[in-house]
Structure 1
Amino acid sequence: MSTATHRAARIAAARKAQSGDAGARRYCAQPMQTPRQFDSNVSAGRASAILASSKKWVNGTQLTYYCFKRGDAVPAAWQGSNEDAGVVEESFEAWAKLGIGIAFRRVEAAEDAIVRIGFDAQDGSWSYVGRDVLGIRDPLQRTMNFGWPLTTPYGQDTALHEIGHTLGLEHEHQNPHAGITWNRQAVIDYFQGPPNFWEESQIEWNILRKIPQAEVKGTTWDPDSVMEYQFEPGLIDAPAQYQAGLVPKGGLSYADKAWVVETYPGVRAPAMSTLKVGLSQLLKLKAGETRNFEFIPARTRTYSIGTFGTSDTVLVLFEVTPAGNVQIAGNDDSGTDLNARISMRLQKSRHYLVGVRLFYADAALETSLMVW
């Protein structure tokens, strides 16, 4: 069997695996976002470094999530089945078992969740990317949706894919390193037709647009990434081997796993230090890296925790609880001339965790952290 014939056969088999759709498949449609703009005093290199990490979570984060269900005060279409919610839980566990430095916990109330998940079949599948989730504050609004059953192989990959977005991953076929040349009109015709019915702006945002190099997960294209779409024959003009279609192998690829472990190091994270009042700690971070510090107050009072140095960071304060780390404050100073600072009343003998991700530093290894 020729390569082209083999790929066509894989596409046909994959189509059959998608429940309830005998023709063209449905795809993840990312919510369109306004690209971040920087002041003129922010250099291109600094802006690029900020964009490379600004959607990534700080190590130590616990992402709580909730699946809307029958009886919730949301549209009935958002309410999912126990079976689909079970696949969502399994998919979070698949990412977590890689030993990464962030955790996931399913909660029983939408107001306790950072990630809120609907199952509206008329709204497609989508998720906000990384820390963009934090901009959706209403507990009765979704940050993720599934538009088809998750109990098929394609549905299971969809769950992994949308969680990948929540972790900070973009669509892999929009990687500028992919070198994809699209048959633009064929792509537009395909996605404007059933069952997607996308507007041309959605097609541009989700397929044809190239993601800035600073925001991609690596220096090469990974056609087997769970973040890669499957494409029918005739949509890709180049590379030539994908003219007959592109079908990822399914599941998390080696590169997916490598990216999440590097971005959120678990056992490979730097040793945790303890903050002491009035003593600064040199962060010793390169751009994109994170570090965590413990802090146990000797008495109850208002404390300030802040960075020092010409740098761009995000600073997060967690309280360590039996149910996991609970974020209680945060500050992002990126793109400004300020330093990150949190002032908050903390309780004697309670266990707190301070997390920092460095986006950019004017001079390497010169940013410090202190509590006072």
Structure 2
Amino acid sequence: MPGRYCSLVQASAPVFAPGLTAERLGALAGGSRMWVNGSVLHYYFFAGDRDASVIPVPGTAERRRVSWGGAKEQQDVVRECLAQWQGLGIGVTFTEVDDRTEAELRIGFQLGDGSWSAVGRDALRAGLHERTMNFGWDLTGPGERGTALHEIGHALGMLHEHQSPFAGIHWDDEAVYDELAGPPNFWNRDRTFHNILRKLDPDEVNGSVWDPHSIMEYAFPSGLILEPEQFRAGLNPPGTLSALDKEFVLRWYPPAGPSRPPALVPFRSAPLGLGPGEQADFTVEPPETRTYTVGTFGDSDTVVVVFEERDGEPRYLAGQDDAGTSGNATVRVRLVKGRRYFVRVRLYSSWGPGETAVMCW
């Protein structure tokens, strides 16, 4: 029986300004979907029958309304898997909320809609009443814990491992299309190409080598892979977090330090001194209530995110990614006297003689 596979939504590839160097393009492709470290990702579970959508009945021409709600035993599997990722010591934390408008991750359990997730910061593009993740089958079945770990990996910014150009997989394309066209997936050729046969850009993938043991790797039956020869009889990853999965996520989200970040004082620039992929954090305690601008200066590509401290934890307030443009990342946001805010700046790449700095004014 063929496996049930994660089906990522086909999203437009990021478009960057023409004329960028290969170094800048590589840094942007590799980090554009990753959260800034220190983020608290709030998650919400749809429950009951109030939230639903109409989906096709697989293998038929019929359509039906199916709820997004999930039972507690389904939710508990996801909670346990979120805790497993966080238990690695990563600098991103997960917190459950009961208000969907407070959540960056909104999780549904619509049966028949497949299992999928927005990749990293792509979740911020979804409407506040839309799902950013769905589980389309029973997570309490044997081996299905790996499904939840896999989708959370996507939410952290990871992509499918078998689509890595470093894998060296030579597919029997038509056999793959035939396999996925039937039950239980019922995928058309476009969906199969997007989720299996399409090769990712080398700068997008989870690492510089293929990891057949990754939680982001599908299992495949025999007859689909022609090369490497040892996988002609099938590819069967264990469905757990591999050593390279852990290495990748800890590289992007290293454990946060215990000390409070230094203060970012209005009208006083703070040099960053960052290398590619590194991050600087600051605290802002505004002297007056008004609209402030927070932005970077210098020849660099950065993402700037502002959080407000509420109930002892940072809540996402606003952010901008300059996405390889000629300008710098700049955020205009209303800050209130007596409250504490955090500014996090991640550097993609820099060039030119000057140093990159950040200022609040």
Q: TM-score, normalised by structure 1?
A: 0.89
3-state SS of the aligned residue for 1:179?
coil
How much has 1:336 moved relative to structure 2?
Answer: 1.4
Q: Which residue of 2 aligns with 1:29?
A: 7
3-state SS of the aligned residue for 1:165?
helix
Q: Which residue of 1 aligns with 2:97?
A: 107
Structure 2 unaligned residues grouped into runs of 5+? 54-65
Instruction: Name the CA distance, whole Å, in 1 between partners of 2:94 and 2:343.
Output: 18
How much has 1:273 moved relative to structure 2?
Answer: 2.3
Do residues 89 (structure 1) and 79 (structure 2) align? yes
Q: Which residue of 2 aligns with 1:152?
A: 141
CA contact (8 A) 2:16 2:325 kept: no
Q: Deviations over 1:107-135 (max 9, x none)?
A: 11222211111111211111111111111
The one-letter code of the counterpart of 1:251 is T
3-state SS of the aligned residue for 2:281?
strand
Change (3 A) 1:363 1:72: farther
How much has 1:176 moved relative to structure 2?
Answer: 0.9
The one-letter code of the counterpart of 1:119 is F
Change (3 A) 1:193 1:325: same
User: Which among 233, 239, 247 is matched to residue 222 of structure 2?
Assistant: 233
The one-letter code of the counterpart of 1:141 is E
Q: Which residue of 2 aligns with 1:5?
A: none
Q: Which residue of 2 aligns with 1:51?
A: 29
Instruction: Name the CA distance, whole Å, in 1 between partners of 2:282 and 2:249.
Output: 21
Q: Which residue of 2 aligns with 1:349?
A: 338
Q: TM-score, normalised by structure 2?
A: 0.92
Change (3 A) 1:57 1:318: same
The one-letter code of the counterpart of 2:32 is S
Change (3 A) 1:201 1:270: farther
How much has 1:73 moved relative to structure 2?
Answer: 3.5
3-state SS of the aligned residue for 1:214?
coil
CA contact (8 A) 1:334 1:359 kept: no
List aligned pairs for 1:329-344, cutoff 5 A. Answer: 329-344=318-333
List aligned pairs for 1:162-201, cutoff 5 A. Answer: 162-201=151-190
Q: Which residue of 1 aligns with 2:62?
A: none
How much has 1:270 moved relative to structure 2?
Answer: 10
Instruction: Name the CA distance, whole Å, in 1 between partners of 2:245 and 2:282.
Output: 28
3-state SS of the aligned residue for 1:320?
strand
Instruction: Name the CA distance, whole Å, in 1 between partners of 2:88 and 2:31.
Output: 21
Structure 1 unaligned residues grouped into runs of 5+? 1-22
How much has 1:58 moved relative to structure 2?
Answer: 0.8
Instruction: Name the CA distance, whole Å, in 1 between partners of 2:113 and 2:51.
Output: 18
How much has 1:171 moved relative to structure 2?
Answer: 0.3
Q: Which residue of 2 aligns with 1:118?
A: 108
Q: Deviations over 1:252-302 (max 9, x none)?
A: 111111111110111469983221222221212222222211122233333
CA contact (8 A) 2:298 2:354 kept: no
The one-letter code of the counterpart of 2:262 is S
How much has 1:304 moved relative to structure 2?
Answer: 1.9
Instruction: Name the CA distance, whole Å, in 1 between partners of 2:94 and 2:148.
Output: 14
Instruction: Name the CA distance, whole Å, in 2 between partners of 1:364 and 1:71.
Output: 59
Instruction: Name the CA distance, whole Å, in 1 between partners of 2:275 and 2:95.
Output: 30
CA contact (8 A) 1:283 1:365 kept: no
CA contact (8 A) 2:51 2:67 kept: no
Percent same amino acid at aligned positions? 46
Q: Which residue of 1 aligns with 2:117?
A: 127
Instruction: Name the CA distance, whole Å, in 2 between partners of 1:26 and 1:323.
Output: 40
Change (3 A) 1:331 1:78: same
**Equivalenced residues, count:** 349
Change (3 A) 1:121 1:289: same
Q: Which residue of 2 aligns with 1:11?
A: none
How much has 1:154 moved relative to structure 2?
Answer: 2.4
Q: Which residue of 1 aligns with 2:68?
A: 78
Q: Which residue of 1 aligns with 2:63?
A: none
Q: Deviations over 1:182-240 (max 9, x none)?
A: 11111111111111111111111111111100011111111111000001011111111
3-state SS of the aligned residue for 1:93?
helix
3-state SS of the aligned residue for 1:303?
strand
Instruction: Name the CA distance, whole Å, in 2 between partners of 1:270 and 1:70.
Output: 42
List aligned pairs for 1:153-302, cutoff 5 A. Answer: 153-267=142-256, 272-302=261-291
CA contact (8 A) 1:59 1:291 kept: no
Instruction: Name the CA distance, whole Å, in 1 between partners of 2:16 and 2:230.
Output: 40
User: Which among 334, 340, 348 is matched to residue 359 of structure 1?
Assistant: 348
CA contact (8 A) 2:49 2:68 kept: no
Instruction: Name the CA distance, whole Å, in 2 between partners of 1:165 and 1:313.
Output: 22
How much has 1:323 moved relative to structure 2?
Answer: 5.2
CA contact (8 A) 2:49 2:67 kept: no
Q: Could you say what the CA RMSD is over the residues aligned between the two structures, in angstroms?
A: 1.8
